[in-house]
Amino acid sequence: MNLKITIVSAAILLALGTASCNQRAATQEEGGQAQAPSETPQESCNPLETREANVPEQKPTFEGQTRACAITSDAAFDVSVVTKGLNKPWAVEPLPNGDLLITEKSGSMRIVTAAGEIGQPISGVPKVDDRGQGGLLDVALSPNFASDRTIFWSFSEPRGNGNATSVARGVLSDDRKSLSQVKVIFQAKPAYDGTMHFGSRLAFGPDGMLYITLGERSVLEIRPQAQQMDSHMGKTIRIAPDGSVPNDNPFVGQAGALPEIWSVGHRNVQASAFDSEGNFWIVDHGPQGGDEVNLVEKGKNYGWPLVSFGEEYSGKPIPNSVTTREGFVDPVYYWDPVIAPSGAQFYTGNAFPAWKGNLFVGALKEQRLVRLQIENGRVTGEEHLLTDRGQRIRDVRQGPDGALYIVTDQANGELWKITPKR
């Protein structure tokens, strides 16, 4: 179905919604059919998730869309604590020499050495609004970092009486103490005086473009903008590294549409990654019973808030929402109960051959690392790792050595390293 028609239909459906819910309950997740993937029938198995669903009357659209087979890792591994004492770290980005670039929610960007020494804050980072879920958020290296030393980061930028997700770039000094040539290259519109759902994950595609995820700011009055083409809320964005808009973006030249938009209808995507074949995947932090994995395609509509599994965090139904609808893309996978996903990495290294091609996702609420086995665009197995550590996992990245690096979401945040067992 033409997306323009879908958006018009979506606006009509949203206009019918008059239900209200408790905003406080709706934001508890931090504290606490158009095109389906190719068929890979799920064999009879023991599902990993056996707890009662939040919304048991909702049924998956296709076999294997939820409660995948429990799988056990063939890879023996060790977990070492590289360092402690990080202040609510939000992202980790391995550097070519083995050190780690870390963002802290309060606004500091630091380098932690491979030996665990925490550096002083890097100067030159713009002011952030760190209320609620805001702050200094994701960070990514330029694809040409070895030669241009350029860093990109997302943050909740104060704007007048509100804020919104912005992305900046800057050049890291040779002594790694400061950023120069700092420039904000993207500012989400409109600004809003809220503290929730900034999205903010950054990922460079094989095309050299920067893909940005943006939340819909949570509250009922604002979330319909996830279906509006004149708003960046609830979208994924594709821009060039200098902030310009590629001519082949799907809505370039369409009246009333923001040209940066790549896909539509997302809630609060805090995890994104490209697989080895160049496909763009996101993991959306959904409503209660509605966290979902999506394979993102150019110009497609992923439904929120008109199409979603789950319910409001208050326990009330999502107004005028259904689990599947013609013209919208079904999620590849969803969790009910939720895991509260944040951070994602497709494993491509050589340290763990058994994990190649697997998607790793951090879980805030469930305090674990999730491993998804994906075959032909379907999730065929799920394993939960690090379940005994009792810490909220905020981000996971693969280093040049093939190790996985993890940061935990707490005032005394930790940086972990996963390596093959000796």
Whole-number pLDDT of residue 5: 42
Distance of CA 368 to the CA centre of its chain: 16
Please identify which of the residues 197, 232, 266, 285 carries the catalytic annotation: 197
Would you call the peptide bond into 341 cis, given omega within 30 degrees of 0 as the criterion?
no
Residue 307: partners with Cβ closer than 8 Å, 6 or more residues away: 265, 321, 322, 323, 324, 325, 328
Report d(CA 400, CA 276) in Å as an integer: 15
Whole-number pLDDT of residue 67: 98
Whole-number pLDDT of residue 183: 99
8 Å CB contact between 179 and 125 = yes
Quickly tell me which residue has 């390293």 as its tokens: 417
CATH architecture, range 3-37+47-420: 6 Propeller (2.120)
pTM, full prediction: 0.92
- Give the number of residues written for the chain: 422
285 carries an active-site annotation: no
Is 79 exposed, middle or buried, given 0-12, 13-18 or 19+ CB atoms closer than 10 A? Answer: middle
The strand ranges marked E within 305-403 are 333-335, 341-346, 359-363, 368-375, 378-385, 393-398
Quickly tell me which residue has 């996978």 as its tokens: 333
Three-class DSSP category at 150? strand
Whole-number pLDDT of residue 44: 73
User: What are 26's two structure tokens?
Assistant: 């709706």
Instruction: Average pLDDT across each block of 10 residues of the chain; the chain has 422 residues. List them in order.
Output: 48 43 45 41 79 97 98 95 98 98 99 98 98 99 98 98 98 99 99 98 99 98 98 99 99 99 99 98 98 99 99 97 98 98 98 98 98 98 98 99 98 98 94
Report d(CA 309, CA 224) in Å as an integer: 17
